């Protein structure tokens, strides 16, 4: 029988974060700045984005090198406080 408890993350590790935002002018730069403030420089190959069908929303996925759970929690909090951010996963 397998243990139903999920395995905890082992830090440091690569950690994906998906941010859903309104596609307002300058929003990508604002969200990039928040991520960089908490996770350091972002390599272009560590970020992908996808627009919604009507181009009203934008999904941005970052893969950061996470140090610990506190760093992730602080980053999520900072992203959620940005007015254009609708959801952080």
**Residue 38 belongs to a domain:** yes
**Residue 8 belongs to a domain:** no
Query: Looking at residue 3, what is its pLDDT?
Result: 61
**Residue 3 belongs to a domain:** no
Q: How far apart are CA 20 and CA 86, in angstroms?
A: 6
Tell which residue, 3, 20, 13, 8, has the closest CA to residue 76: 20
pLDDT in tens, 27-85: 999 999 999 999 999 999 999 999 999 999 999 999 999 999 999 999 999 999 999 99
Q: Are 14 and 63 in contact (CB under 8 A)?
A: yes
Question: For the chain, how many structural domains are there in total?
Answer: 1
- Domain span at residue 70? 13-88
Q: Look up the pTM and report it.
A: 0.90
Q: How far apart are CA 21 and CA 18, in angstroms?
A: 10
Instruction: Check whether 1 has a pLDDT greater than 70.
Output: no
Instruction: Check whether 2 has a pLDDT greater than 90.
Output: no
**Residue 41 belongs to a domain:** yes
Instruction: Check whether 23 has a pLDDT greater than 90.
Output: yes
CATH number, domain at 54? 3.30.70.260
């Amino acid at each position: 029988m397998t243990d139903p408890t999920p395995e905890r993350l082992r830090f440091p590790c690569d950690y994906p974060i998906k941010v859903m935002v309104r596609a307002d002018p300058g929003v990508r730069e604002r969200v990039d700045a928040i991520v960089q403030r908490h996770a350091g420089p972002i390599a272009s190959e560590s970020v992908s984005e996808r627009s919604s069908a009507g181009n009203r929303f934008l999904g941005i996925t970052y893969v950061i090198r996470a140090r610990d759970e506190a760093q992730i929690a602080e980053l999520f909090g900072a992203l959620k406080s940005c007015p254009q951010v609708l959801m952080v996963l």
